[in-house]
Structure 1
Amino acid sequence: MGYVIKMPKLGLEMERGELLGWERAEGETLEEGEVVAEGETLEEGEVVAEVESEKSVAEVDAREDGVLRRTYLEPGETVPPGTAIGIVAPADADIGDLEAEVEAELEDAGADDGAADATAGAGSGAEAATDGAASEATPGSKSAADAGKVSPRARKRAEELGVDLEGVEGTGYQGAITEDDVERVADVDGDESGGDVQASPRARKRAEELGVDLATAEGTGYQGSVTEEDVERAAESADDAGRSLRKERPFDGMRRTIASRLGESYREAVHVTTHREADAEALFAAADAADDALEADVSVQDVLLLAVSAALEDHPAFNATFEDDTHRLWNEHNLGVAVDVEQGLIAPVLRDVDEKSLEAVARERRELVGAALEGEYTMDDLRGGTFTVTNLGVLGVESFDPIINPPQIAILGVDAVAERPTRGPDDGVEWRRHLPFDLSFDHRVVDGADAARFLETLVERVEEPWALLPEGIDREDAAGAETEMPGRTVTASNAEGMSGRIEAGSFEWRYDEPEAAGGTETGPTPVDVFLGGLAACLSLSVRFQAEKRDAAVGKIDVTTDAEPEHGSVERVAATVRLESDADDETLERIVDLGERGCHVSQLLREDLSLELSWERI
């Protein structure tokens, strides 16, 4: 028994996979550069390795009990899907047949690479001569390169250093050429070329990248040779801008794919962005009404997605893709919802939005975003989008030019809500919330006038969203409801964790604890809530006393403090600041009477009196 571990294919578009690390039996991941400890015992279903494609990260599980007998790939190396990366078999099993299978595959891959090189190099004298020599060689004189016994990392290193694999003596398993073999040959070639500086191949490559003259680098390696670290040190000291390198982040895996796709999109599509703003008061009211009426947690974004779908229904040219010079309009409204994950921005797809209720959209969107943030999404979650919505408003962004997610032809950016003065009834001024939008579109496919009409429809839906809500929820439910005062009845709800929500009549606010106490810091602590009530009560009571005595008092600020910072409160103090020209005696009297009339201060226990002071603003 036993089997060959192969690089899995993580999606139809996957071209190469990178080995992130081999997993030891106890779950410890080997980092790049460490030696893989072959001989680890594995159980069926246990993680053997972690790999990454251009779009996702996945774990490779053991198909059966056994031992990790062979590894053909080191962390950081990339190979096409289906390539052998290791062998799992019982400790006493003969794996000769499995090794032969892998060697045959390597030989086939090497032959394919050779054919491709010969085709690409037709007309090159040097390559033609090499091909000729290879064709005349006898079967018994095959080199390791001829036999395909070259590790993927060695082949890549040979390309970087310009080393011809013909004639390189392999010191790896059964004569396979390793990366060290390639670098050894490169070292020899460098010495024969008459270079005065002793430097490792990696150091020479790094010097080229950073533009460092090897002669200026102080060698700390064997017999004074220059290492890669020596080159980087020389680069830092030679930087005439006074900079020192903190960290380098090479593009690989998902980040490389994101950069490639967005770069391709920006080069290929003719990007134009139009901006429009909508009055968002009705949108917020509709979301609140739906959240109260439905079992699902409904947010403004959920109602907005239905508004976008309604606009796409009226303007189907935007619910489309553009490939092979063909504009394809789709029936389904599959909306990509941009999510910021550790590796970059992805857009999992919420499917058939036009066919779903608001409750279903709210529930499925939360599940989709949650899976993306937890890294539990699949390739299918990212495929098949027809339009994308990206929201940077939650980060305070007021305007931006989103880049189209190919092959789609448009993307909607949502900005931060802005409160603006608006002419109200009787020529008065009222403050209203507005929501700005940025629509980027491919001008090859649709025109600016088309985009303007799309945004006009979207704004209409946002400003009149009630038709998007289920039956039974209408404008009167939100706008016609009278404010309900708490009547000194307050409810605190704690669903989980160390945070919750306070409801008092028609009003509500959050409470929470610091992260150090297990909270998430999304609201004031219960003690802070009490201090806020005390400060508010004092300010109103002082105001009442000032007006009762016709004292000219402008602004009143009250700051309350409690000590210690955590645990049981042992001291409470309040400072009242008043804007007034009244004499000190009058203000002293007003503050003292205000404290006596404050019902909240009367709630303090007998052994915890309020330390009250006042000052002028």
Structure 2
Amino acid sequence: MPIEIKMPALSPTMEEGTLAKWLVKEGDEVKAGDIMAEIETDKATMEFEAVDEGRITKIAVAEGTDGVKVGTVIALLEGEDDGSGESTPAPAAKESEPRPSPEDPNKTGSEAKAAPEDVEDHGKPADSQVAGSAAPASGTPAPQRAAGERVKASPLARRIAAERNVDLASVSGTGPNGRIVRADVEGAKTGAAAPVASTAAPAPTAEAAAPAPRPATIPDVPHELTKLSNMRKTIARRLTESKQQVPHIYLTVDVELDKLLKLRGELNAGLEARGVKLSVNDLLIKALAVALIQVPKCNVMFTPDQLVSFGRADISVAVSTPEGLITPVITEADTASLSSISTRMKDLAARARDKKLKPEEFTGGTASISNMGMFGIKQFEAVINPPQGMILAIGAGEKRPWVLKDGTLGVASVMSATGSFDHRAIDGADGAQLMQAFKQLVENPLAMLA
């Protein structure tokens, strides 16, 4: 019987996508690992791999089709007999291994491959994945199989099971005809069956409950129309969701920079031989990460039924590219050396501008930082990037009248920093402690190196 190949969910937030390009045609033979199509998601243009062998008998969705819902049948495959009298089951939506597609020179800027990960107050938000979130659990208890009975599992599921030491015989399959797929293995404990998933119906989403927006009235003024890319649609949706659903609280402090600037100069003199040059932003990334460890109540994520507290600080850093903002993540920034942060940040930023970041390099941060000081912006309030609990907005450093340590009035290099906090997860007093810790670390920068 024909196998249904369905539109896969290539990112945690993907609900629909554009079938940008078919790389196979009807009648073609495919095997596991062959690239079948390029799919434009809400984050990037990804390659969709086959996980079974067979012949393409029908292309159900033409290339270039927008708004293809996840789970929609996009093609039919005549699978090979697996020795049990049944056709090989269809690949589950999550069985593909998405990989960034090679750059297509025919695509315009609106079809950029990398979407922003951070939410910015100046209109550049995007999605973020939950760091360390659990994989979906299989829906039934482990099956009882007769001795010698063949275990049906996809090649990808078998590889993951081998890597994680999971006994496939004890895992129940949720794929067609009880086949074990990737999600089943990822939801299973080592050497044990996958847990039973809840059967409760999911709550309606905000998008389902909200009425559809009315079309805007375009003024009778000369204009041009640009089709919204999936990236831009995601930006619009996530910015609206964050401001509507997340109660923001904003806390601003003025921070003296003179000691930090002096330390930066001294460190750069010593690092010059190694080809490392620290930026002010490198030191601010480190200061925020250390402050989050000092005030762990701010290194959190809010979910409807629990509060997630993180044991390390992974900082998402807003980087401007010609296509929009994207936020590479500096992992373990609280324990990383300044030279490591600087080297990684330069590499990530360069590859971000070339649209060569891997998805795992711009997802999963525990907090964000956005620096607009280079544009001369004195102070601003950034929009939180759910599910993160806070984002720090950095303004320009400038010479200001300042009360010095001896109580006299003088001039110092000062910047304004504003923290945006999710008030569901972080109380104002806790946010104030974080801002105080950040200020102290910047004004006494040797403390962050201890």
TM-score norm. by structure 2 comes to 0.59
Of the three residues 278, 299, 304, the one matched with 2:279 is 299
For residues 453 and 413 of structure 1, the distance between their equivalents in structure 2, rounded to whole angstroms, comes to: 16
Q: Does 1:280 align with 2:260?
A: no
Q: Please report how far the alpha carbon of residue 414 of structure 1 lies from its aligned counterpart in structure 2 after TM superposition.
A: 0.6
1:78 is matched with: 67
* Counterpart amino acid of residue 379 in structure 1: P
Counterparts of 1:62-101 in structure 2, within 5 Å, are 71-74=59-62, 75-81=64-70, 83-86=72-75
Q: Please report how far the alpha carbon of residue 73 of structure 1 lies from its aligned counterpart in structure 2 after TM superposition.
A: 2.2
Structure 1 residues 5 and 351, CA, compared in 2 at 3 Å: closer, same or farther? Answer: same
Q: Secondary structure at the match of 2:438?
A: helix
2:421 is matched with: 441
For residues 433 and 54 of structure 1, the distance between their equivalents in structure 2, rounded to whole angstroms, comes to: 41
- Measured against aligned partners, the alpha-carbon deviations of 1:341-374 in whole angstroms (never above 9, x if no partner) come to 4554333322111221222222222223233222
Q: Please report how far the alpha carbon of residue 439 of structure 1 lies from its aligned counterpart in structure 2 after TM superposition.
A: 0.7
Q: Does 1:51 align with 2:39?
A: yes
Structure 1 residues 291 and 45, CA, compared in 2 at 3 Å: closer, same or farther? Answer: farther
Q: Please report how far the alpha carbon of residue 429 of structure 1 lies from its aligned counterpart in structure 2 after TM superposition.
A: 7.4
Q: Does 1:244 align with 2:233?
A: no
Q: Secondary structure at the match of 2:334?
A: helix
Structure 1 residues 209 and 419, CA, compared in 2 at 3 Å: closer, same or farther? Answer: same
Among the aligned pairs, what percent are the same residue?
Answer: 30
* Counterpart amino acid of residue 261 in structure 1: R
Q: Secondary structure at the match of 1:355?
A: coil
1:179 is matched with: none
Q: Does 1:321 align with 2:301?
A: yes
Counterparts of 1:219-258 in structure 2, within 5 Å, are 239=219, 242-250=220-228, 252-258=229-235
2:10 is matched with: 10
Indicate conservation of the 8 Å contact 1:291/1:299, yes or no. no
Q: Please report how far the alpha carbon of residue 80 of structure 1 lies from its aligned counterpart in structure 2 after TM superposition.
A: 4.2
Indicate conservation of the 8 Å contact 1:258/1:344, yes or no. no
2:113 is matched with: none
For residues 399 and 28 of structure 2, the distance between their equivalents in structure 1, rounded to whole angstroms, comes to: 62
For residues 54 and 314 of structure 2, the distance between their equivalents in structure 1, rounded to whole angstroms, comes to: 44
Indicate conservation of the 8 Å contact 2:400/2:411, yes or no. yes
Q: Please report how far the alpha carbon of residue 320 of structure 1 lies from its aligned counterpart in structure 2 after TM superposition.
A: 0.5
Structure 1 residues 97 and 427, CA, compared in 2 at 3 Å: closer, same or farther? Answer: closer
Relative CO higher for 1 or 2, CA cutoff 8 Å, sep ≥ 6? Answer: 2
Counterparts of 1:537-556 in structure 2, within 5 Å, are none
Q: Please report how far the alpha carbon of residue 42 of structure 1 lies from its aligned counterpart in structure 2 after TM superposition.
A: 11
For residues 407 and 425 of structure 1, the distance between their equivalents in structure 2, rounded to whole angstroms, comes to: 40
Indicate conservation of the 8 Å contact 1:418/1:433, yes or no. yes
For residues 12 and 337 of structure 1, the distance between their equivalents in structure 2, rounded to whole angstroms, comes to: 21
- Measured against aligned partners, the alpha-carbon deviations of 1:120-178 in whole angstroms (never above 9, x if no partner) come to xxxxxxxxxxxxxxxxxxxxxxxxxxxxxxxxxxxxxxxxxxxxxxxxxxxxxxxxxxx
Q: Secondary structure at the match of 2:365?
A: coil
* Counterpart amino acid of residue 224 in structure 2: R
* Counterpart amino acid of residue 271 in structure 1: H
Of the three residues 332, 351, 356, the one matched with 1:352 is 332
Q: Please report how far the alpha carbon of residue 57 of structure 1 lies from its aligned counterpart in structure 2 after TM superposition.
A: 1.8
For residues 96 and 283 of structure 1, the distance between their equivalents in structure 2, rounded to whole angstroms, comes to: 64
2:132 is matched with: none
1:267 is matched with: 244
Indicate conservation of the 8 Å contact 2:53/2:79, yes or no. no
For residues 325 and 369 of structure 1, the distance between their equivalents in structure 2, rounded to whole angstroms, comes to: 36
- Measured against aligned partners, the alpha-carbon deviations of 1:317-359 in whole angstroms (never above 9, x if no partner) come to 1100111142222111111112234554333322111221222
Tell me which protein shows more helix as a share of its residues: 1
For residues 457 and 422 of structure 1, the distance between their equivalents in structure 2, rounded to whole angstroms, comes to: 20
For residues 17 and 63 of structure 1, the distance between their equivalents in structure 2, rounded to whole angstroms, comes to: 20
Q: Secondary structure at the match of 1:254?
A: helix
* Counterpart amino acid of residue 11 in structure 1: S
1:402 is matched with: 382
Q: Secondary structure at the match of 2:325?
A: strand
Q: Please report how far the alpha carbon of residue 410 of structure 1 lies from its aligned counterpart in structure 2 after TM superposition.
A: 1.3
* Counterpart amino acid of residue 17 in structure 2: G
Structure 1 stretch displaced more, 6-15 or 361-370: 6-15
2:436 is matched with: 456
2:391 is matched with: 411
For residues 85 and 415 of structure 1, the distance between their equivalents in structure 2, rounded to whole angstroms, comes to: 48
Q: Please report how far the alpha carbon of residue 61 of structure 1 lies from its aligned counterpart in structure 2 after TM superposition.
A: 6.6
For residues 11 and 389 of structure 2, the distance between their equivalents in structure 1, rounded to whole angstroms, comes to: 23
Q: Please report how far the alpha carbon of residue 434 of structure 1 lies from its aligned counterpart in structure 2 after TM superposition.
A: 1.3
- Measured against aligned partners, the alpha-carbon deviations of 1:263-318 in whole angstroms (never above 9, x if no partner) come to 22211221111111111121122222222223333211111111112211221111
Structure 1 residues 386 and 209, CA, compared in 2 at 3 Å: closer, same or farther? Answer: closer
Indicate conservation of the 8 Å contact 2:401/2:410, yes or no. yes
Counterparts of 1:164-563 in structure 2, within 5 Å, are 209=215, 239=219, 242-250=220-228, 252-294=229-271, 295=274, 296-422=276-402, 431-469=411-449
* Counterpart amino acid of residue 352 in structure 1: E
Q: Secondary structure at the match of 1:384?
A: coil
For residues 425 and 449 of structure 1, the distance between their equivalents in structure 2, rounded to whole angstroms, comes to: 26
Q: Secondary structure at the match of 2:378?
A: coil
Structure 1 residues 343 and 438, CA, compared in 2 at 3 Å: closer, same or farther? Answer: same
Indicate conservation of the 8 Å contact 1:322/1:408, yes or no. yes
Structure 1 residues 425 and 451, CA, compared in 2 at 3 Å: closer, same or farther? Answer: closer
For residues 12 and 367 of structure 1, the distance between their equivalents in structure 2, rounded to whole angstroms, comes to: 26
Structure 1 residues 9 and 326, CA, compared in 2 at 3 Å: closer, same or farther? Answer: closer
Q: Please report how far the alpha carbon of residue 87 of structure 1 lies from its aligned counterpart in structure 2 after TM superposition.
A: 7.3
Structure 1 residues 54 and 284, CA, compared in 2 at 3 Å: closer, same or farther? Answer: same
> Structure 1: where are the runs of 5+ without partners?
25-36, 89-94, 106-207, 212-234, 471-617
Structure 1 residues 335 and 85, CA, compared in 2 at 3 Å: closer, same or farther? Answer: same
Indicate conservation of the 8 Å contact 2:55/2:79, yes or no. no
TM-score norm. by structure 1 comes to 0.44
- Measured against aligned partners, the alpha-carbon deviations of 1:389-413 in whole angstroms (never above 9, x if no partner) come to 1112222222211111112221100
For residues 406 and 424 of structure 1, the distance between their equivalents in structure 2, rounded to whole angstroms, comes to: 39
> Structure 2: where are the runs of 5+ without partners?
91-213
Structure 1 residues 426 and 281, CA, compared in 2 at 3 Å: closer, same or farther? Answer: closer
Q: Secondary structure at the match of 2:266?
A: helix
For residues 52 and 350 of structure 1, the distance between their equivalents in structure 2, rounded to whole angstroms, comes to: 26
* Counterpart amino acid of residue 10 in structure 2: L
Q: Please report how far the alpha carbon of residue 210 of structure 1 lies from its aligned counterpart in structure 2 after TM superposition.
A: 6.8
For residues 52 and 420 of structure 2, the distance between their equivalents in structure 1, rounded to whole angstroms, comes to: 51
Indicate conservation of the 8 Å contact 2:293/2:312, yes or no. no
For residues 398 and 45 of structure 2, the distance between their equivalents in structure 1, rounded to whole angstroms, comes to: 39
2:93 is matched with: none
Q: Please report how far the alpha carbon of residue 378 of structure 1 lies from its aligned counterpart in structure 2 after TM superposition.
A: 3.0
Q: What CA RMSD, in Å, does the superposition of the two structures yield over aligned residues?
A: 4.1
1:28 is matched with: none
* Counterpart amino acid of residue 225 in structure 2: K
Greater Rg over alpha carbons, structure: 1
For residues 11 and 333 of structure 1, the distance between their equivalents in structure 2, rounded to whole angstroms, comes to: 23
* Counterpart amino acid of residue 265 in structure 1: S
